[in-house]
Every structure is written in structure tokens, then in C-alpha cells.
Amino acid sequence: MSPLLQVRNVTKKYGGLTANNDISFDVAENEILSVIGPNGAGKSTLFKMISSFTPTTTGEVIYRGERISNLRPHIVARKGVVRTFQETTIFKSMTVRESVVVAQHLRARASLAGYFWGSKTAKNDVAAFEKYADELLEFLGMSDISNEQASNLPQGSLRALGIAIGLATDPKVLLLDEPFAGMNHDETMNMVNLVRSVRDERGVTVMLVEHDMPAVMSISDRIVVLNFGEKIAEGTPSEIQNNEKVIEAYLGSVDDEIGM
């Protein structure tokens, strides 16, 4: 079976700095794949190129056989490759439910004018969005906070809202940027289970960038390791934990520990 997504010889240069150098790997359908590496290794840059928030300098990203790198990010999102953010800042003035409804406008059928004039299509869309928002929030165990203002949510619920907003756009590949950052052990375990159920029950392929090594080792099918912009390893969690280059990269870093 051909891979769902392919990163092919991707390089990103910022002036004289090479943030990613000739990175290649495949992502299989229904996989949970983590990208790890010490601070500044190039993880976020790689995610930005996969979601097309920044163009590649050279190389390409292929999704279902089609090149998606260097397209506009909303086009890539519509095709099904969606990135969530560390902080859900844009929707904080809304309730949880409103945020998930608004996020679905990304795949709306009605034109903007239709929304303005309250066309039948727009009204049908809004009703469908509300129904789907309720379904998603129930799936994520968030029904009881659906009318809470997003700005009042604790960290764990805010992250879950980020995932709800990502799922609202009906992704096939969800890119999660540090989903466990700032969480205590119990919150992390809840989020690990949530991400697993997103894959298992909704058939979403998940890629994540994360520093929490125990969580990464427990959740990932495979791991790609970056160091100074280079891919230094790729494999299952146990292969990565025993990889000498990986151990060396982490021991050489003051801020990170691989937690083995």
C-alpha cells in the first residue's frame, strides 16, 4: 500500500541557517507518528512545511499522490491535512460550542453572500454545523463544558478544544504541536487516550511534535528524530530508545532528556 503522506528530500533555509536538511520519510494511513528532537532541531519548521504554512526551499510533501507543499495552507487544510496550535487564541472570546461551529466554516458549502443574506443553504449548513459540533464534543467528552467561554478553560480543556477545532474541519491527517505541553501526569494520560481514540474511532492519521518522552513512547507507532535540522533516526519507540545517535543527541542537550 502506498503511504498516505510522503516528505521527500525537504530542505528549509532561513538565510544562512538550514532549519531542515534533506528530510525524507513516509506516513502510513492510520498511523500515529511523532517527530522529536532537542530544542531548535527543526520540528516546528517541518510541521509548517507539511501544512504549507511556510514553503519548502527544496523538496516536496506529497499527500495521496499529490504535491501539497507550497500550496496555500487553507487549500491543504481542505484537502485534509490540518495543523493545530499550541494555544487556541483565536476563538477565546467564544464558547466551546461556538468555536467548533465556526471552525466548520472552513469546509462550508454556502458562499459568504449566502451567509450574509441568510440563504437556505447557509441555514442548513449552520444547523448541520451545530449538530456535528455537539457530536464532536460528546465524542471528546466535552459536552458538559460546551457553553463555557473558551477563555475560562483550564489548560487541559483548552488543548482538547484545539483538537475539537482541528477535527471540526474533518481532517484525514491531524498535526498536533506539543499536545501534552504544560500538562500534569493525569492530564497527559487523558490526552494520550483522546488522541488514540481520534485515530482508532475516527480514522484520523496523527502526527505530533512533542517533548514529553514517556507520552511519545507510549502513544507512537513510529518516531522520526531530528537534530540540528537533520533526520538522525526513524523507527519504533523501542528502536528509538536504543538508538545510539538519539541517545547522544539528547545527552548533548541541556534542556531535554529522553526519559528512558
Ligand X SMILES: Nc1ncnc2c1ncn2[C@@H]1O[C@H](COP(=O)(O)OP(=O)(O)OP(=O)(O)O)[C@@H](O)[C@H]1O
Among 5, 7, 19, 68, binds ligand X (CB under 6 A): 19
- Taking CB under 6 A as the rule, does residue 156 contact ligand X? no
Specify the 3-state DSSP secondary structure of 54: coil
Among the listed ranges 43-51, 70-78, 122-130, 168-176, the one in contact with ligand X (CB under 6 A) is: 43-51
DSSP of 62-74, one letter per residue?
Answer: EETTEE-TTS-HH
CB-nearer residue toward ligand X: 37 or 171: 37
- Taking CB under 6 A as the rule, does residue 17 contact ligand X? yes
Nearest approach, Cβ of residue 250 and ligand X (Å): 12
CB-nearer residue toward ligand X: 100 or 174: 174
Nearest approach, Cβ of residue 80 and ligand X (Å): 23
Element (H, E) at 17: strand 17-27
Contact 10, 49 (CB under 8 A): yes
Among the listed ranges 11-19, 146-154, 189-197, 198-206, the one in contact with ligand X (CB under 6 A) is: 11-19
- Taking CB under 6 A as the rule, does residue 52 contact ligand X? no
Binding residues for ligand X, how many (CB under 6 A)? 11
Among 27, 31, 34, 43, binds ligand X (CB under 6 A): 43
Among 25, 26, 29, 40, binds ligand X (CB under 6 A): 40
Nearest approach, Cβ of residue 45 and ligand X (Å): 3
- Taking CB under 6 A as the rule, does residue 41 contact ligand X? yes
Nearest approach, Cβ of residue 139 and ligand X (Å): 29
Question: In this structure, what C-alpha cell is assigned to residue 73?
Answer: 495552507
- Give CA separation, 10 vs 71, 191, 224, in Å: 15, 30, 14
Residues 6+ apart with CB under 8 A from 157: 96, 142, 145, 148
- Taking CB under 6 A as the rule, does residue 39 contact ligand X? yes
Residues 6+ apart with CB under 8 A from 80: 63, 170, 171, 172, 173
- Taking CB under 6 A as the rule, does residue 179 contact ligand X? no
Question: In this structure, what C-alpha cell is assigned to residue 140?
Answer: 471528546
CB-nearer residue toward ligand X: 43 or 97: 43
- Taking CB under 6 A as the rule, does residue 252 contact ligand X? no
Q: Secondary structure of 151-209 in the HEC alphabet?
A: HHCCHHHHHHHHHHHHHHCCCCEEEEECCCCCCCHHHHHHHHHHHHHHHHHHCCEEEEE
| Helix residue ranges, H only, the chain | 43-50, 73-79, 96-103, 112-116, 120-139, 155-168, 185-202, 213-219, 237-241, 244-251
Neighbours of 47 (CB within 10 A): 19
- Taking CB under 6 A as the rule, does residue 42 contact ligand X? yes
Nearest approach, Cβ of residue 233 and ligand X (Å): 15
CB-nearer residue toward ligand X: 169 or 188: 188
Contact positions vs ligand X (CB under 6 A)? 14, 17, 19, 37, 39-45
